[in-house]
Structure 1
Amino acid sequence: MLEAVIFDMDGTLFQTDKILEISLDDTFQYLRSMNKWSKATPIDQYREIMGVPLPEVWETLMPDHCNADREKTDAYFLERLVENIRSGKGALYPNIEEVFHFLQENHCSIFIASNGLTKYLNAIVDYYQLGHWLTETCSIEQIESLNKSDLVQRIIKKYGITNGAVVGDRLSDIHAAKDNGLVSIGCHFDFAQKEELAQADIVVGDLIELISVLPELAT
């Protein structure tokens, strides 16, 4: 069995889509109230870049705004996301408990490595009581480069991992695995893109498939 499995959060463990639109709408309504935005909420554009670090999100969605406006928007968006999580408006993907139990029973450490911010990740972990399964939840905030490959490298070095897998739905997850000599497992879920998943070693359509896939990867 592998030593460790490193999971992405958004679009992999957490069904971000359930709170994304309402949180984004809240945020851009906030901007409209300050006369900082006059167009429709760019939800489709956000879906296309889902999974990139938030500073890059606001640079893409608000290219004509100053950094101060983007930082205020980022802070407000984070507040709305956390509130919607704590209000129970989100959801995990199916079969996570079964998969985590399987990994724990087979002495495989479980990590989260996400481009999400620490406060956001902790809200999900706390609300869905995931903490007792996890060795550590790691945010891109912990890495100056804001590069997920570097975040995964940090986990590998800290815990002395020699064989493992990264499970995620976007290209940054696949690159994070390959850049660190780990197996890349792509999730064909809501935000996944076919051309990105084509670069993964393995693709699953449901997390429950990991129970049969992971033992075959043992070295």
Structure 2
Amino acid sequence: MTIPTFEGIHTVILDYDGTIHDSTRNYIAAFKKAYAYLVGVDQAAPREWEDAEITKWLGYSSKAMWENFMPDLAGEYQSTASKMIGQTLLERAQNGQAVLYEGALETLQALKEKGYHLVFLSNCSHVYMEAHRESFGLDRYFDKMYCTEDFGFIPKYEIFEAIQADFPGGYLVVGDRFQDIEVAEHHPVHTVGCLYGFGFPEELASADALIEDIRELNDLL
């Protein structure tokens, strides 16, 4: 793959799950546990799940996931199942079961040494973000960390305005889902799509560049 280079970038905004963190195994386990609960309370039919049917929800905020997955589910059950997923993911992170993509931290360190401002932007909960901050010492790499829960789960392109107020342009957004790439539809930013993550190729079609390994980001900048 021919990889273009970018000039004039000062701030790199990175998604987390599917970009830096490989949350496949943990999310599948959390989803199946929550779905089993819904089956047990007669709110869902028993069924087997393919991994891809589950991981397609990675990258969505909790609110958006349930609105698309089971929009008719009563709020009390949605809340319980959502908390179950969040708690399972949290426990796994705290127990050292979270896994980053190979070369992720080394790439962040290399970019930091080049002088880029690095910003964490994820559709996750605050407690999840903090657990991963502690597990991997993310403060060593990121200048600031933003999660959508702290902004009422508004879209990333709206949160970008807060980032823009804190950090200098030009901006590069790196992620594996349409929620990352669509920031460029609303703001003058460049985008890099991560083909190794959880999105579908068509979600990343408008990205300025595509990478198949997080380490390729160091070649871009």
Both structures adopt the same fold (TM-score exceeding 0.5): yes
Aligned: 1:88 with 2:96: yes
Question: Residue 213 of structure 2 aligns with which residue?
Answer: 206
**Identity, % of aligned positions:** 24
Number of residue pairs matched by the alignment: 213
Normalising by structure 1, we get a TM-score of: 0.89
Alpha-carbon distance in 1 for matches of 2:128, 2:48: 21
Structure 1, unmatched stretches of 5+, are 215-219
Q: Given that residues 142 and 151 in structure 1 are in contact (C-alpha distance below 8 angstroms), is that contact kept between their aligned partners in structure 2? A: no
Tell me which moved more, 78-87 or 30-39.
30-39
Q: Given that residues 61 and 153 in structure 2 are in contact (C-alpha distance below 8 angstroms), is that contact kept between their aligned partners in structure 1? A: no
**Per-residue deviation at 1:146?**
1.4
Alpha-carbon distance in 2 for matches of 1:36, 1:75: 16
**Per-residue deviation at 1:2?**
2.3
The one of 169, 191, 196 aligned to 2:198: 191
Question: Residue 62 of structure 1 aligns with which residue?
Answer: 70
Alpha-carbon distance in 2 for matches of 1:72, 1:201: 39
Alpha-carbon distance in 2 for matches of 1:137, 1:171: 20
RMSD: 1.9
Normalising by structure 2, we get a TM-score of: 0.88
Question: Residue 217 of structure 1 aligns with which residue?
Answer: none
Question: Residue 24 of structure 1 aligns with which residue?
Answer: 31
Q: Given that residues 59 and 70 in structure 1 are in contact (C-alpha distance below 8 angstroms), is that contact kept between their aligned partners in structure 2? A: no
Structure 2, unmatched stretches of 5+, are 1-7
SS in 1 for 2:172: strand
Q: Given that residues 27 and 80 in structure 1 are in contact (C-alpha distance below 8 angstroms), is that contact kept between their aligned partners in structure 2? A: no
Alpha-carbon distance in 2 for matches of 1:168, 1:50: 12
**Per-residue deviation at 1:182?**
1.2
* 1:133-173 alpha-carbon deviations (Å, 9 max, x no partner): 111110111324611101122111123x2212000001110
* 1:101-157 alpha-carbon deviations (Å, 9 max, x no partner): 112112211111111111112212211222211111101113246111011221111
